[in-house]
Structure 1
Amino acid sequence: MENVDYIIVGDGYAALFFAHHLIREGKSFKLFSESRKGASQVSAGIINPVVLKKFTTFWKAQEKIDYLKIVLSEIESYTSKNYLIEQPIHRIFHDENEKNLWLKKSASEELMNFLNTEFSQFEDVRNPFGTGSVSQSARLDVSSFFTDMFDYLDSKKYLVKEKFDYSQINITENTYKEFEFKNILFCEGMGVTENPFFNDIPVIPNKGHHIKVRLQNDLKNNVTIKKKHFLFPLNNNLYFYGGTYDRDQLHSKIDDSAVEQLVSGLAEIYPFDFEVKDISFGFRPTVKDRRPIVGRHESHRDFYVFNGLGARGILNGCFFSKYLYDFIENDVALPEEISLGRFLL
């Protein structure tokens, strides 16, 4: 029997950012991954402190961005790569009213560090009213981040490449197959619906599609364009465009209506021909109050959950993994806003 401090079940942002804390603190662990591409691994990787529909921000936006940069620098120490792509978001204005609203909001204390008041105009996309850029916005190199993190975990024998079998847990002995654990953490996204210990947490699936396209003419500016969806360059002369939000069409196949929505949205801003080369989708685990769900099982005191990261998986996964670590290891109370306990009252 091998003794470990933690078993982590899951392989998205929640699992990997928590694993980073264990690596940093010298804890022993095993991370169980089915090697399936969930919502995190097909995500756009957008790091954005502004809600671009209404030009508002969100809870702890600045703190989350600041902490993400620290954590990515720490991860770079063992993967030898920083995954932050300093590529700002440029929001295309629909009309002059939106531009004026942007200026008005940029004067507010909560948005003055995020809304740049120097507007831009681009030649190769339709933007008759110009664009506003979001300061401190960026992207994560999603593909490299997951590839490198899994390679590192595998090289250090932290990674177990198999589907986790709940029936193999001995809840009285804290064992799973050949492992004896102090704590077990479930970071499964929508897979939590099959988890007998946490399948009642109120996560709501939100299906998101994106497409990879080849443009007739490459964009000259190295930025992320946003109107209805995000458009940015990838490798191999391809571009990412997405993603959609759908709480109704939850079957596990591509929705033609979502693809049509993306194609028409891209055609609205890109005046030349393009070819769809790939279509992907995933199910984001969202929560009604737009806060993650973090906490300890009522009956099994060494069982924990970290879920409900929603569309801000990178920022939420990175920031709140530290809260969870301090809760488990240092008995620091979780903020009520994210605590599993808020649903048990």
Structure 2
Amino acid sequence: MICGITKISLDNYRKPEYFYSGFFIMKNVDYIIVGDGYAALFFAHQLIKNNKSFVLFSEQKKSASQISAGIINPVVLKKFTTFWKAQEQIDFLKRTLNEIESYTGQNYLINAPIHRIFHDEKEKELWLKKSENDELKFFLDKNFDHLKVVKNDFYTGKVNQSARLDVNGFFVGLFGFLENQGCIIKEKFKYSDLNSSLNTYKDFSYKNILFCEGMGVRQNPFFLDIPVNANKGHHIKVNLSQPIPQNITIKKKHFLFPLNEKIYFYGGTYDRDHLHHGIDDSAVEQLKKGLSEFYPYDFSIIEANFGLRPTVKDRRPIIGKHSKFQNMYVFNGLGARGILNGCYFSKSLFDHIEKNIPLPEEVSLERFASK
């Protein structure tokens, strides 16, 4: 038993079924998924768990999800507040990662809590005050820590239940599993080859199709009008001359944590204005300055990366069906909390499609219908 459910068995896992249609051999699937980020893979897990056949079209580009920090954090660390369904999302993520472990053989959760460096005594006092709040008392640790190596004159506050996802391991493991099962198509999805009347795409016949394309939705003729906006984020990988002794995640302006014994991740930035596809030198300088503020030793930048996060004005995902094609769906706008949002709402979407359970109004595509 895993997390109160029967361990997932692949003995009866449904692969695509083949049938003849004229001169063509058609492959019949319950779902086509388009995308290769958190939304796509967590929804694919729901299909695996519920014995649904599918294929996933992956363009094999590094999505914003795949270069993300992988931070799992129930607290907004600027204001020491939490967010909608934080506890439910963290609990669900842990259960889901245990389920995924049953068929990949790996659990990608890294139990390395966030330590927020306080700027002054007032922040410590605010932290303690907020820790008495019913919504925050299980997240804000009242015992302060003093870390070695980094500057933290006013100590740090630990965020309980925070952690990280092994991002590279997660995507390598899930993509590898899907490839072994024959469920992944490594090519760009061509909208012109989709016949939404016959429910076919090339040589595939489908019951439902789901688009999880991030900012790629801007090229999707079926959902190009959904109100997602790009937020460009940079991070750097650095070699620290003096390593941090603990396997933790340090937060001041940005997040610092080890990728291995020598290399550390530091990021990421937020930029809604400079959205070209390239590294911004100003963002790299911002990260160098931010790291230097609390790390007093030499470090060298090994590489810099960026991604375009799909964000929504109300900071909640966009999930729902097309207004005309009732078996066509979108799952987008996960933002900076892509892991938690992608995991938790994948089940909401699956239950909506398969069990006709209404989507929460807060994330439904229909909330924009009259706007």
Q: Normalization by structure 2: what TM-score? A: 0.93
The one-letter code matched in structure 1 to 2:183 is: Y
Counterpart check, 1:10 vs 2:35 = yes
Out of 191, 204, 213, the residue aligned to residue 216 of structure 2 is 191
Counterpart check, 1:306 vs 2:355 = no
Could you tell me which runs of 5 or more consecutive residues in structure 1 were left unpaired when the two chains were aligned: none
Deviation at 1:221, TM superposition (A): 1.5
In the aligned structure 1, how far is the partner of 2:199 from the partner of 2:261?
Answer: 47
Out of 49, 53, 57, the residue aligned to residue 74 of structure 2 is 49
Question: For residue 354 of structure 2, what is the aligned residue in structure 1?
Answer: 329
Query: Percent of pairs identical after alignment?
Result: 67
Counterpart check, 1:154 vs 2:179 = yes
In the aligned structure 2, how far is the partner of 1:282 from the partner of 1:133?
Answer: 28
In the aligned structure 1, how far is the partner of 2:143 from the partner of 2:178?
Answer: 43
Count matched residues.
Answer: 345
In the aligned structure 2, how far is the partner of 1:232 from the partner of 1:344?
Answer: 42
Question: For residue 158 of structure 2, what is the aligned residue in structure 1?
Answer: 133
**Deviations for 1:10-61, whole angstroms, at most 9, x for unmatched residues?**
0000000000000011100000001100100000000000000000000000
In the aligned structure 2, how far is the partner of 1:309 from the partner of 1:93?
Answer: 28
Partner SS for 2:331: strand
Counterpart check, 1:122 vs 2:147 = yes
Question: For residue 171 of structure 1, what is the aligned residue in structure 2?
Answer: 196
Matches within 5 A, 1:1-345: 1-235=26-260, 237-345=262-370
Deviation at 1:235, TM superposition (A): 2.0
In the aligned structure 2, how far is the partner of 1:304 from the partner of 1:236?
Answer: 42
Deviation at 1:123, TM superposition (A): 2.1
Partner SS for 1:275: strand
The one-letter code matched in structure 1 to 2:333 is: G
In the aligned structure 2, how far is the partner of 1:133 from the partner of 1:182?
Answer: 47
Structure number with the bigger relative contact order (C-alpha 8 A, sep ≥ 6) is 1
Partner SS for 1:71: helix
Question: For residue 13 of structure 2, what is the aligned residue in structure 1?
Answer: none
Partner SS for 1:73: helix
In the aligned structure 1, how far is the partner of 2:108 from the partner of 2:281?
Answer: 32
| 4+ residue runs over 6 A deviation | none
Partner SS for 1:123: coil
CA RMSD between the two structures: 0.5
The one-letter code matched in structure 1 to 2:348 is: Y
Deviation at 1:236, TM superposition (A): 5.2
In the aligned structure 1, how far is the partner of 2:139 from the partner of 2:36?
Answer: 31
In the aligned structure 1, how far is the partner of 2:246 from the partner of 2:197?
Answer: 59
